Amino acid sequence: MTGPGVRGDTKATSAGDAPATGPRALTRPPRLKQGDRVGIVAPSGPVPPERLAAGLDVLREWGLEPVVGRHVLNPHPGLRHLASVDEHRVSDFQAAWCDPSLAAVVAARGGYGSQRVLDLLDWELLRGAAPKVFVGYSDLTVLHEALAQQLGLATLHGPMTATASFLEDVATREHLRQTLFTPEKVREIGLGTAARTLVPGRAHGITLGGNLSLLAAERGTRHARPSAAGGILLLEDIDQPPYSLDRLLTQLLRSGWLEGVAGIALGSWTDCGDHEEVSDVLRERLAPLGVPVVEELGFGHGSSTPTVPLGVPAVLDADARTLTYDEPGLL
């Protein structure tokens, strides 16, 4: 399988140069349309019922028919940080993914728990289903990576149904809605944000990544991408002080995972401490890679967050402080 984990001839270029040819993009699932049914699953932490109900109402306003997994609101009998027992979370995900009447699978929220289900999923069964949209972020980073590696599928790093940004921020909801229904209208990320250039230049590659903590935690596991080479790496996190961000980035550097990366787009660092100190850590660890780096592109755990496709070719222009996709995230 080709993709951002496979070395190609993608490379950073100086500003104004034509983007380099990169590895082949992943399969893009079809966009949504009015009347589509979408599965709601909880592979990670427990879901507050009232927040889920409010999120489902939004989906219905968009003309979608949400179908909630059987165990989404069934608490784990002992571990309060999990939505339900592992087998139930696996069952709900597989049932939704393999249901031909569902056009998308959307996570209700993040938290923790997705890593526990990866080795229990029947990947042969999942491969037999038609490609469909997957939406989530944070803890769901490991599912984005596994779907890319195991199914060769592009996914959406976006707000989840019962999360604060989806429920409380109009811009967040609208960006996800357009990405789902009219993805050609939202091919550029960065306009109107507080984005800053850390390392200048221009790079072309396939987008990948997500939550820094989860990417570092997955190193050495069976579903982990072997390398970020040739890709435009998206990174964000929450509640990690500067020294912890340093440690996580150092893990990716020392393991060789960042060798050959084409460019790096940085999102929000909510509750990670002083902004300038965080920025200093990011610059000190990432600038020596010699590739374009942009910070504060807005995606992630912030109060307002854009939806960013993963597994799709894009140009990262550090000077213009934009990430522009070659093609829409969905067909």
Q: Mind listing the domains of the chain with CATH numbers?
A: 12-23+186-325 (3.50.30.60), 37-184 (3.40.50.10740)
Marked catalytic residue, from 76, 213, 223, 236 = 236
Q: Please state, in angstroms and rounded to a whole number, the distance separating the CA atoms of residues 223 and 225.
A: 7
Instruction: Work out the average pLDDT over 189-201.
Output: 91
Is 138 considered catalytic here? Answer: yes
Instruction: Read off the pLDDT of residues 290-322 as tens digits, 9 standing for 90 and up.
Output: 999 999 999 999 999 999 999 999 999 999 999
Instruction: Work out the average pLDDT over 112-139.
Output: 98
pLDDT score for 24 = 58
pLDDT score for 264 = 98
Sheet holding 133-136: strands in order across? 65-68, 37-41, 102-107, 133-136, 155-157, 308-310
Is 301 considered catalytic here? Answer: yes
Average per-residue pLDDT for the chain? 93
43 closest CA partner among 177, 142, 191, 150: 142
Instruction: Read off the pLDDT of residues 14-72 as tens digits, 9 standing for 90 and up.
Output: 333 333 333 457 999 999 999 999 999 999 999 999 999 999 999 999 999 999 999 99
CB 77: neighbour CB atoms within 10 A?
9
> Is-contact 101 129, C-beta < 8 A?
no
pLDDT score for 191 = 78
Lowest mean pLDDT among 24-28, 34-38, 83-87, 139-143: 24-28
Is 124 considered catalytic here? Answer: no
Instruction: Read off the pLDDT of residues 237-249 as tens digits, 9 standing for 90 and up.
Output: 999 999 999 999 9
Long-range contacts of 167-176 (CB under 8 A, 24+ apart): 167/51, 167/54, 167/55, 167/58, 168/303, 169/303, 169/304, 169/305, 171/304, 172/304, 172/305, 172/306, 173/58, 175/305, 175/306, 175/307, 176/135, 176/307
Marked catalytic residue, from 84, 114, 138, 227 = 138
Instruction: Tabulate helix, strand, coil % of the chain (nearest 5).
Output: 30, 20, 45
Alpha helices in the chain, H assignment, sequence order:
49-61, 86-98, 114-118, 123-127, 141-151, 164-168, 170-181, 212-217, 242-254, 275-286
> Which pLDDT band, with edges at 50, 70 and 90, does 11 fall under?
very low
Predicted confidence (pLDDT) at residue 117 exceeds the cutoff of 80: yes
Q: 324 exposed, middle or buried (CB, 10 Å; 0-12, 13-18, 19+)? A: middle
Share of the chain above pLDDT 90, in %: 91
